[in-house]
């Protein structure tokens, strides 16, 4: 599946929930690193609308920490709906800004 994505967009790998949550951010990061391409991870709209603030902070922090290791990373919030609580969006943005990605020596 990921190999087909790379055929269409050879410069980066994009993954979003629920796939990233199910397979793990590390799976996506390793795949991108093996191919020397950038990584983009998306936090799912359903998750953002229904998860707790703590769950959102935890997931966003993990995605930024793992995905941002050594740069070449972007995070996005998928298809935000009008019913997504504002506090959930604040939690996502604050978590993204508060995490320092790991640096590999």
Are the C-beta atoms of 11 and 37 separated by less than 8 Å? Answer: yes
Distances (CA, A) of 54 to 51, 85, 95: 8, 13, 10
CA angle, corner 48, sides to 95 and 71, nearest 5?
40
Write a three-state SS string for 18-62.
CHHHHHCHHHHHHHHHHCCCEEEEEECHHHHHHCCHHHHHHHHHH
How confident is the model at residue 7, as a pLDDT? 79
Three-class SS state of 69? coil
Per-domain residue ranges of the chain: 12-98
How confident is the model at residue 103, as a pLDDT? 61
How confident is the model at residue 5, as a pLDDT? 81
Torsion of CA 60, 73, 66, 24, to 10 degrees: 80
**Mean pLDDT, the chain, as a whole number?**
92
Three-class SS state of 99? coil
Model confidence pLDDT, tens digit, residues 48-99: 999 999 999 999 999 999 999 888 999 999 999 899 999 999 999 999 999 8
């Amino acid at each position: 599946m990921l190999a087909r994505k790379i055929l269409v967009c050879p410069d980066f790998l994009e993954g979003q929930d629920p796939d990233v949550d199910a397979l793990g951010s590390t799976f996506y990061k390793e795949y991108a690193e093996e191919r020397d391409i950038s990584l983009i991870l998306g936090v799912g709209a359903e998750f953002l609308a229904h998860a707790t603030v703590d769950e959102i902070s935890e997931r966003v922090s993990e995605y930024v920490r793992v995905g941002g290791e050594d740069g070449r990373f972007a995070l996005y919030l998928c298809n935000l709906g009008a019913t997504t609580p504002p506090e959930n969006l604040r939690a996502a943005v604050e978590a993204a800004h508060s995490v320092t990605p790991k640096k590999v020596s």
